[in-house]
Amino acid sequence: MWPYEGRFLLHAPADQVAGRIPGTVEPVGEHSCLLVLRGDEKERVRALGRRLLSSRI
């Protein structure tokens, strides 16, 4: 179990995101998904989230 978790709602289908980003991807409707990032360090989860927000999937 990881002590830190970041949850991101992405406006992209789950099948487009899965495998491209480390984390758990859960479908939320046809055109969006929830990405869950977990880690043992808060800063590592934040850094992955920042990288995700600054790039296109």
pLDDT value, residue 16: 92
How many folded domains does the chain comprise?
1
**Which residue shows structure tokens 């969006």?**
32
Write down the pTM of the prediction: 0.81
pLDDT band at 9 (very low <50, low <70, confident <90, very high): very high
Task: Look up the domain containing 35 and give its range.
Answer: 4-53
Q: Output DSSP code: residue 15.
A: H
